[in-house]
Structure 1
Amino acid sequence: MRLDKVVPYFNIKIFIYFLIAVTAVYTLAFTYYYNFKDDGYILADWLINYQDGGFKRRGLSGSFFFLLQDLTGLSLNYLVYAVQFLIISGFFWLYTKLIRYKITDLLYLSLLLSALGFVGLLNTVTYVGKKEFIVFLLFTWFVYLLDRNKLTKNREYVFCIALFITTFLHEVVLFYVPYFAIALYLKTGRFKFKRYIKYFVAVGIPTVFILLLGKNVNEGMSLQILAERGVHPTYGIFYWNINEREYIRQHSSEYVLYLLSLAISIFHIGYYLKFLKDRKILSILLIGTFLFSLPLFYLAIDWGRWMYIHMMLMIILFALLLRNGQSVCAFEKIRVNTKFYITLFIIIFSLLYRVEMSGKGFTFEGILYRIFIAPVELLNKM
């Protein structure tokens, strides 16, 4: 049977809904699993607190959960997961609403299937449960309101307050705030620098406080405080004592592979931009945004994570540019041409490899490996 007779009937939108549902369930399930094994990152990062030594980066969330526990008597594991559940499910729900009446095509689907997109969550379990989901949720809500012309001045200030608070939860938000300015530009078609400044100020002020006044994540009593509250991590953020720049230098042969993954992603995004209007300006803005985040790559070892956040935010951003349709199942029928074959190649290759959060920048252990080969290897070992 010829491709041009079959592929036009493939409903891209329904497949995207399916992918969103699978990714959401997977993310929530593994976040639950790691929370209740007292994971040193997925749980413990939310429990960095001010009780141990005073003000520090990311400490607001832990003190908040301690207060909740004192008020309710509930386990920290349940309280943290409840908030993670609301944030993660809120993101997937809002993203679904954002694209519901959008006409999606195969090339847009390819972004979700990227090794650093939605499939990245299925490939690399360590991406689940992290605080960047707060940024995903805020940005998706922001783009959703923009798309529907409901972003009033008052709501803009609400977002600035939310970004201000989020920076105290995780300072990474500083390096991705340019996406909010780009979204505003794409909607208005004009640069309004005075309008953008408040977003940078909102994340800049808490960052300065953190740099000047912030103490160590663990001032010596964190593990004891957590143990008294029923949480016993045996590894992770509270044990972290690594010179990250030196670690990257010592593992340079592994980290250089991130450049390969980055090159693949640049080609992928570049090919997507080829079919957009004003692609030159948008390309420059995206390059500038990536350069703005470079200090992250210098300061911290989670290179795959930083790249994954970029891709997820671009997926949300590009949804703003999709054409509106009349149906929740609206999609652009696939035409078998050169664009189709290039996009199909990108999708297949994306499913072949994965990008780990830190250390391994490229391995041929993508979603196809994890579905078809890894289970067989496990059975052989058993």
Structure 2
Amino acid sequence: MKIRKIVQNFNIKIFIYFLIIITAIYTLAFTWIFNLKDDGYILADWLINYQDGGFKRRGLSGSFFFILQDLTGIRLNYIVYFFQFLIISGFFVVYTRLIKYKLTDFLYLSLLLSAIGFVGLLNTVTYVGKKEFIVFLLFASFTYLLDNDKLSRAKEYVFCILLFVSTLLHEVTLFYVPYFAIALYLKTGKLEYTRYVKYFISVGIPTLLIMLFGKNVNEGMSLEILSKRGVHPTYGIFYWNIDERQYIKEHINEYKLYFISLAISIFHIEYYLKYLNGRKFLSILLIGAFLFSFPLFYLAIDWGRWMYIHMMLMIVLFTLMLRLGGSIYAYEPIVKNKKFYITLGIIVLSLLYRVEMSGYGFTFEGILYRAFVAPLELLNKI
């Protein structure tokens, strides 16, 4: 009886707020730690610049931060973290506002607890601090304006400009732009191809410029330039010299494990869509969005990261289909039926496994392992 009472009185919305806070603090804290260590991926990726060899992919951010350092004299580590803090915390704040008055249920909560959802950040520390948070913030803000009927044509063009700039900051923006079109369709209920074209043109033009005129990330002077500016990465993006397709072939047995995680995630999303209206067409759109990102899986080794970005964007996207509640604590009470037990099973499985950014695509080292088993293993080694 006590367990039944706990289940019935479990406030899903409060738990989601708690999860948002924990995930945000964790993400910001580890981003700070990586920045102080001059991390070659988390920090250095933001410091790719045009000063070394000219125009290149991702180089806009580094050149911008160099200008700020010249103007202020502040260490690059601090300047970069200031903007990372604004972007990351901005995403979590906008997402909170998105769900603030929405009725969340146990099945929606399961998406956040997916091994490649919010829990993915807690499972895999290398997900923190990366530039996809720019896309998360843009998409969450776009969705929020849509949901509140505040996306004017002028604001829509502002987002097109931001998508253009975001692509210059990281080309990953190109591969996830279909979500903006899908969100617009979910809101309006009709296909508006001329509006969608703007989004694709906004990311397509900078991508084409990068392909035609872009230099290498490191043209030979990047490490020297950073050293003079007080940053000394000893590994990472500026040292990257790997044939990624060959790397995947050589580690194919590890990469095959991603198909287990992908299969679980597909089942999870399809089960969620089962309870939505118009799920068949939405399923087709989401499959299209995944296929649009397929070149990433062919060209780059971070398969877990690409899957994680998809899940995070879908978590935001599905807020458009949540019903309005009467307060910020509104939620749908849990009913112990077949749906509850299947959802509970999905959650338990999600907490059991982990999806690494690259390499192993499925291991039983999820959040439960990291919370209860790993500390005991560490104590035994002392």
Whether TM exceeds 0.5 here: the answer is: yes
Q: CA separation in 1, counterparts of 2:379 and 2:43?
A: 30
The 5-angstrom pairing of residues 21-60 of structure 1 reads 21-60=21-60
Instruction: Tell me the residue number matched to 1:231.
Output: 231
Instruction: Tell me the residue number matched to 1:123.
Output: 123
Instruction: Tell me the residue number matched to 2:104.
Output: 104
Instruction: Tell me the residue number matched to 1:312.
Output: 312
Q: CA separation in 1, counterparts of 2:34 and 2:245?
A: 28
Q: CA deviation at 1:2?
A: 5.9
Q: CA deviation at 1:5?
A: 3.4
Instruction: Tell me the residue number matched to 1:363.
Output: 363
Q: CA separation in 1, counterparts of 2:218 and 2:9?
A: 56
Q: CA deviation at 1:4?
A: 3.8
Paired residue type of 2:159 = F
Contact in 2 for aligned 1:118/1:312 (Cα 8 Å): yes
Structure 1, residues 31-58: CA drift from partner, whole Å, max 9, x if none?
0000000000000000000000001000
Q: CA deviation at 1:121?
A: 0.1
Instruction: Tell me the residue number matched to 2:88.
Output: 88
Output the TM-score relative to the length of structure 1: 0.99
Instruction: Tell me the residue number matched to 2:379.
Output: 379
Structure 1, residues 183-225: CA drift from partner, whole Å, max 9, x if none?
0000000000011000000000000000011110000000000
Q: 1:152 to 1:161 in 2, by over 3 A?
A: same
Q: CA deviation at 1:3?
A: 4.4
Q: CA deviation at 1:15?
A: 0.1
Structure 1, residues 316-340: CA drift from partner, whole Å, max 9, x if none?
0001100001100000000000000
Instruction: Tell me the residue number matched to 1:342.
Output: 342
Q: CA separation in 1, counterparts of 2:280 and 2:28?
A: 38
Instruction: Tell me the residue number matched to 2:181.
Output: 181
Paired residue type of 2:114 = S
The 5-angstrom pairing of residues 123-142 of structure 1 reads 123-142=123-142
Gapped regions of structure 1 (runs ≥ 5): none
Q: CA separation in 1, counterparts of 2:8 and 2:330?
A: 13
Contact in 2 for aligned 1:167/1:206 (Cα 8 Å): yes
Q: CA deviation at 1:380?
A: 1.2
Q: CA separation in 2, counterparts of 1:184 and 1:108?
A: 21
Output the TM-score relative to the length of structure 2: 0.99
Q: CA separation in 2, counterparts of 1:28 and 1:2?
A: 37
| Residue range with higher mean Cα deviation, 40-49 or 2-11 | 2-11
Structure 1, residues 210-265: CA drift from partner, whole Å, max 9, x if none?
00111100000000000000000000000000000000000000000001100000
Contact in 2 for aligned 1:4/1:335 (Cα 8 Å): no
Q: CA deviation at 1:6?
A: 3.0
Paired residue type of 1:65 = F
Instruction: Tell me the residue number matched to 1:215.
Output: 215
Paired residue type of 1:131 = K
Q: CA deviation at 1:381?
A: 1.1
Q: CA separation in 1, counterparts of 2:62 and 2:352?
A: 38
Q: CA separation in 2, counterparts of 1:4 and 1:80?
A: 48
Matched, 1:273 2:270: no
Q: CA separation in 2, counterparts of 1:104 and 1:73?
A: 47
Paired residue type of 2:167 = T
Contact in 2 for aligned 1:167/1:174 (Cα 8 Å): yes
Matched, 1:297 2:294: no
Instruction: Tell me the residue number matched to 1:200.
Output: 200
Structure 1, residues 54-109: CA drift from partner, whole Å, max 9, x if none?
01000000000000000000000000000000000000000000000000000000
Q: CA separation in 1, counterparts of 2:119 and 2:87?
A: 19
Instruction: Tell me the residue number matched to 2:17.
Output: 17
Gapped regions of structure 2 (runs ≥ 5): none
Q: CA separation in 2, counterparts of 1:215 and 1:363?
A: 37
Q: Which runs of 4+ in 1 moved over 2 A?
A: 1-6
Paired residue type of 1:43 = L
Structure 1, residues 4-25: CA drift from partner, whole Å, max 9, x if none?
4331100000000000000000
